[in-house]
Structure 1
Amino acid sequence: MSVETAEEPGWEVDPDDEWGVAVIATVGRQLRLRREAVGMRVPEFAAAVGYGEDLVYKIEGGKRIPRQEYLDKADEVLGAGGLVSASWEDVKKVRYPRKVRALAKMEAQAVEIGLYECNIIAGLLQTPEHARALIEAAQPPYSPDDVDRMVAARLARQSVFERDPAPSMHFVLEEAPLRRQVGGTMVWRQQLAHLLEVGRLRNVTLQVMPTNTDAHPGLDGRIELLKFPDGTAVGRSDGAFSGRPVTDPRQLHVIELRYGTIRAQALPSRESLAFIEQMLGET
C-alpha cells in the first residue's frame, strides 16, 4: 500500500474540546521534536511510517488525533524505546467526542442505569454492524473516518457491562425499531440475538413496548436515568425540561414517574425475551 493511497489513521480534533486540543497538540509537538532530533524530514518520515505527508503535518500540528498503530510505527521508526507508543494512554482518553466521553464517564460511575428508546435500539445494546449501519444512514453522510470514530465511541461505552460490581441496568425498547432490519437480514438477526444474550444477564432487565399498546409518557422521545453511589442522580427526557439533563429532586421525580409508567406498561422481562425469540423465529 503506497503512502499516497493509505487511509489516514486518525480523526479530526474538535476545536471546542479544550482538553482534547491540548492533549493532541502536546503529542503532536513531541512527535515533531523527536523526528527533528533524529534528523528526519517529513517526506522521509512519512515514507518510513507508511502514511502520507499531509497526515504527518496534521498530527504534528495537533489537527488530527493519531490512532494507536500510527504511534507504534512512529515509535519504531524514531527509536523512541516505547515512549511514543506510551502517549496512546493520553490520546485514547480524548479520541472520542467530548459529549460521548462525558456520558461514558457518568455511565461508568452509575450504580443504576435506566433507559427508554423509542426510535432506535439503545446504543449500549447495539452490535458493531448495527451501529455502523445506523451511523452510515445519516444525511448529510459522515466521512469514513467520522463513522469509524462514532462506531468506536459507541462500542466503548459498552464496557459498562464489564464492571465489577456490575450496575443494575434497565432497558425499555419499542417494538418497531426491533422489527426494522437495519443493515440487512443477517445484521438484524445478529442484533436480536445480542439483545437476548444481554437480556439474560443477571444485572440487566430488558423490556419490549408492543406497538399495539396504549399511549404512554415516552412517545415524545428518549428517557435516561442514572443513579450514583452517593444517592445523587441525573436524568434526561426529550419531552421534559427542554430535553436538558436535570439533577433537581423535583425534576428527577417527574422523569422517574415517566420512566416508571413506561416500565409498568411494557412487557415483563421474561415475556419480552420470548417476544424477541418469536421475531427471530419468524424469518
Structure 2
Amino acid sequence: MNEKTTAPSETGVRTEAAPETSASKANDTLRPMPQVNRITANDVIDALAAGLMDFRKAPVYGLAIGALFAAGGLFVILSAAALNMSYLAYPAAAGFVLIGPFAAVGLYEVSRRLASGEELSWSAIFGAMWAQKGRELSWMAFVVLFIQIMWMYQVRLLLALFLGFKSFASFDEFLTQVISTPEGLMFLAVGHVVGAILSLLLFSLTVVSFPLLLEEDRDFITAMITSVRAVVTSPVPMIGWAFVVTALLIVSMVPAFLGLIVVLPVLGHTTWHLYKKCVVIPQDNSQTASA
C-alpha cells in the first residue's frame, strides 16, 4: 500500500501532515497529461445532435440558464445607454458574449449527469457550480475576464485612432459616422479583425478547458494547454465549430438577446459532448504502481 504510517513523536502528536502534503504535490505533478483525439466534421455533427438531445431531455435547466445569460446581456446594453455611452453598446455586447464558456458550466454539469445517470436537481447543479469557487476553474474565469478587458481596451483605442475623441449623442449618430465615413469603415474593418483574433484565442484556450476542469481536478494551465492541443490537432473541424458558434451567437443577439435563451444551452451541451470526443483522461496508475 502507498499509505504512509508514522509513529507518534515524543509529545504524542502525529507528524505526518507535511510528508503527505509533499507526496500529494508530487503525485499531482506526475499525473499524465490528458490525451487529445483527432476529430472530424462528423464528430462535431454528432456532438451537436447529442447537445440537442440533452436540451430536450432537460429543457428547464437550459432555458433558465439561457434566460439568465440573456438578461445579463440586456443589462449591459441598458447600462451603456444609461451612461450615455450607447456607442459602446455593440462592442460591449460582443465582449459580454465572450463569457459564454463560463456561463455554460451549469450546462456542462447537466450533460455530465445525464450521461452518468445521476439525478438532476437545482441544488445539484448550483452545488457543482458553487464547488468550483475553490478550484482551478475560478482561475479560468480570470482568463476570460482578462481577454474581455483586452477587447474593451482595443475598442477604445481604435475609436481614438480612427474617430478621434468624439462624443456621440446617440447610437444612431455613432452608426451613421461609422458606416458613412472612410474612418468609420476602417474602424469596423480593423475592429472586427482584432476581435476575430481575440475570439479565436479565447476559443482555443477554453473550448475544452472548462468541461475538463469541471470533470477533473486539474490545474488550469494543463486545461488550457489541452484545449489548445485539441484545436491544433483538429484545426478544420474545431475552427469550423468556432465559426458556427460565432454565427449562432450573433444571430441570437439580434432580438434583444432573446435568442440566447435557446442557443446558449444548445451550444453548452454540444461543447460538453465535443469535449468528450476530443479528450481522453488516462487512468492514473501511480497509486497502483507504488502499492
Higher helix share: 2
Higher strand share: 1
- TM-score grouping bracket, smaller chain normalisation: under 0.3
- Could you tell me the TM-score, scaled by structure 1's length? 0.26
- Could you tell me the TM-score, scaled by structure 2's length? 0.26
Higher relative contact order (CA 8 A, sep 6+): 2
